[in-house]
Amino acid sequence: MSSPSDDAILQSIRLYREALQQTLNLFVESGEIAEGSYGWLAGENASASVDNRNMPQQMADLHEGFVMKVFATMVPASSARNLEQRQLGRILLEHVWGETVQGSKLHEAIDWLITTAEGFSWYEVTRPFLELPSLRDRWGEVITAATRMAHLIAMVDGDDSSVERSRLQSMLDGLENAKQVAKSPTSVTAPTSPSDSPTVDHQADLDNAREAISWLRSEAKRLREGTGHDAANKPTPTRAGGGSPASTEPAKPSTKETAEQDDRTPEERLAEARAKLDRLIGLDAIKNQIQTLANFLAMERHRAKEGLPTTKPSLHMAFVGNPGTGKTTVARIIAEIYGGLGVLEKGHLVETDRSGLVAEYAGQTGPKTNAKIDEALDGVLFIDEAYTLIDESGQDQYGREAIQTLLKRMEDQRDRLVVILAGYPKEMTKMIRSNPGLSSRVGTTMHFDDYDPEALCRIFELIAAKAQYVIPTESRRRLLRGFTHLYFNRDRHFGNGRTSRNSFERSVRRLANRIAGSTEITRELLTTLEPSDIEIPDLTDAQLDAMTEPSGMIRVTCPHCDTPQVIEDTLMGTTTNCNSCSEPMEVQWGSPVIDLKAPAESNPEQDSPS
């Protein structure tokens, strides 16, 4: 084996530093998202409320265990460690401790690092991404972060051995096992056929989120004490997950932790919520409806200040659409907008479904429904698959009791509570029309359409861009053709945005396997999703090859003159001149211009589940 050049080692060190910082950013940003989604849970436990309000710092602490676990997996023992990997160990210790370790102390410190990380499990260091619904969409980014760091550690010496490839695969398997260990939402009713989707139990989701947040609080404290510089001098390193905490003394809250309320002004909170809405892919009609409603409420607030008469419209809503169309995400943003406008004092979101409202025995449903509503007061109660509360036969007395309790609270506390009923279009329409109480209280119905092929591609790119991936032209063609096939052969259980996320996660794993055999790891290799990496759920490589082999056309609109035009799909990911105004325009994606019969003719196996 030839030793790597000094330039190659310096390049690996630089890339590893960047990967560590990107991982920290991922965890901290996720902590901010979790705090926005579940900060209201802090109020359930007064003694824990201070810690609960600093989830970004807790996630930063957790990331230290994550990066240490990656290193320990790739370099499990001193005998397996080479000079170059020791240099990366030094960089990791600097990242975790904030100071440089040199000489003989470096060897001892890395031994401590590996020994300590052996006490962590993949489930423990990734649990928030597995059990907090608002973070599950970032799982692909977690896989990306781990894969990048692992490749840099494995290849820093310029050698690629079967042992290191085996360790990398072991890491990926460990992450996949962690996903299986996680408490996934349970099914209220089992699917009756392979094409049916299980009913998500939001009460289980909420319970898991509550438990995961409580765990994160204690685990962050344990990691903070167990991975700090002083911990390396202890005779027995602190282990994560299980056992008693290293210290029973409460952690001293930082200045940031002592803030009990959101320190943003209402204007800042409103601006951030609107920015989140604008960043969502597609959903133009939904965005317009929300903007119109927000403008109306703002006007009414100004009229009230001037002593003018105001109206109080019903703010309760119905969200109708198939799974994966962004209903929960939009509900969370609406809660933030209402909070920013002062319509709701807290502006938080509480998610539930039938299981969170209906009890098993007579007389218990009313109190259970009221308890759930109490959690949502001064915020938004989001009830998924709300149509399951009404039985067409009229025999479901428990569901009827939940509805009656809900209707009364929707009217009596309309100033403190907004209810959003969500579900499939047909079932929701029937539910609202069949119940006069609901139809009179639900003032707005928003229709969430399925994402078209171009939107699915843009969602894929949005996720990829967060992890700094580049999608070349041929990969774009492969994605657009594959998503187009799935879209035109979809049924009511089509995954929509979840399809894009699944495709991204699978593609990243393919990339990891492809570059495992590379003798030199470069930024380009780590960030480029080649056509061979792209995987579309329920489509084989042979099917994708057949779809992308013929050239195709896409419809785009010039950003300068707003002229729609049809161009070749080989121009995606490039800059070309507008056919009308001749100005240069960047072509990222386009709407496919195809013969709708083409997929069926070129894919005899299209009847497989999609």
Provide mean pLDDT across the span 376-393: 89
Range picked from 20-29, 154-163, 179-188 for highest mean pLDDT: 20-29
CB atoms within 10 A of CB 355: 20
Helix and strand counts by DSSP (H, E) for the chain: 23, 10
pLDDT value at 206 more than 60: no
Work out the angle at residue 58's Cα, subtended by the Cα atoms of residues 54 and 63, and round it to the nearest 5 degrees: 145
Average pLDDT over residues 274-285: 90
Tokens at 336, concatenated: 């933030």
Cα–Cα distance for residue pair 127/215, rounded to 1 Å = 9
Q: What are the CA-CA distances from residue 268 to residues 272, 337, 338 (Å)? A: 6, 10, 13
Per CATH, the number for 451-549 is 1.10.8.60
Task: Determine which of 226-230, 422-426, 459-463, 516-520 has the lowest per-residue pLDDT on average.
Answer: 226-230
**Pair of tokens at residue 515:** 């570059």
The pLDDT assigned to 242 comes to: 37
Q: Which residues lie closer than 8 Å to 566 by C-beta, 6 or more apart?
A: 553, 554, 555, 556, 593
CB 70 within 8 A of CB 146: yes
Is residue 304 packed enough to be buried (19+ CB in 10 Å), middle (13-18) or exposed (0-12)? exposed
Mean pLDDT is lowest, of 189-193, 231-235, 454-458, 575-579, for 189-193
Res. 38: pLDDT tops 60: yes
- pLDDT exceeds cutoff 90 at 44: no
Q: What number does CATH give the domain 280-448?
A: 3.40.50.300
Nearest partner of 383 among 421, 356, 327, 330, judged by Cα: 421
Collect all residues with Cβ–Cβ distance below 8 Å to 604 and sequence separation of at least 6: none
Look at residue 270 in the predicted model and tell me its pLDDT: 87
Tens digit of each residue's pLDDT (9 = 90 or more) over 245-279: 333 333 333 333 333 445 678 888 888 889 999 99
Rounded Cα–Cα distance for residues 139 and 88 (Å) = 25
Mean pLDDT of 557-581: 94
Matching fold, domains 280-448 and 451-549? no
What percent of the chain is modeled with pLDDT above 70?
78
What are the extents of the domains in the chain? 6-41+52-183+208-222, 280-448, 451-549, 551-596
Answer yes or no: is pLDDT of 370 > 60.
Answer: yes
pLDDT above 80: residue 342:
yes
What is the average pLDDT across 439-460? Answer: 93
Q: Other C-beta atoms within 10 Å of 60: how many? A: 18
Supply angle C-alpha 539, 545, 550, rounded to 5: 125
Strands in 442-448's sheet, in edge-to-edge order, are: 349-352, 379-383, 417-423, 316-321, 442-448
* Inter-residue contact 481 to 544 (CB < 8 Å): yes
Q: How would you write 470-530 as a 3-class SS string?
A: ECCHHHHHHHHHHHHHHHHCCCCCCCCHHHHHHHHHHHHHHHHHHHCCCCCCCHHHHHECC
The whole-number pLDDT of residue 374 equals 93
- Does position 604 have pLDDT exceeding 50, yes or no? no
Q: Is 580 helix (H, G, I), strand (E, B) or coil?
A: coil
| Range 593-601 average pLDDT | 52
Give residue 195's pLDDT. Answer: 39
What pLDDT is stored for residue 448 in this prediction?
Answer: 94
Per-residue model confidence as pLDDT tens digits over 489-522: 998 888 899 999 999 989 998 998 888 777 777 8
Average pLDDT rounded to a whole number, residues 532-559? 92
The stretch 404-431 carries a mean pLDDT of 92
Mean local confidence (pLDDT), 319-335: 92
Closest by CA position to 42, among listed 271, 226, 213: 213
Evaluate the CA torsion angle 453, 459, 462, 465 in order and state its sign: negative
Q: What pLDDT was estimated at residue 4?
A: 60
> What is the reported pLDDT for 481?
95
Which of 138, 156, 140 is CA-nearest to residue 92? 156
Q: What is the mean pLDDT of the chain?
A: 81
d(CA 587, CA 573): 6
Confidence of residue 382 (pLDDT cuts 50, 70, 90): very high
- Which residues, at least 6 apart from 99, have a Cβ–Cβ distance to it below 8 Å? 229
Q: Considering just the CA atoms, what is the radius of gyration of the chain in Å?
A: 26
185-to-65, 128, 165, 211 alpha-carbon distances in Å: 26, 14, 33, 14
Q: HSE of 28 in the Cβ direction (CA atoms, 13 Å)?
A: 9
Q: What is the pLDDT of residue 205?
A: 59
Q: What is the pLDDT of residue 156?
A: 76
Q: What mean pLDDT comes out for the span 346-351?
A: 89
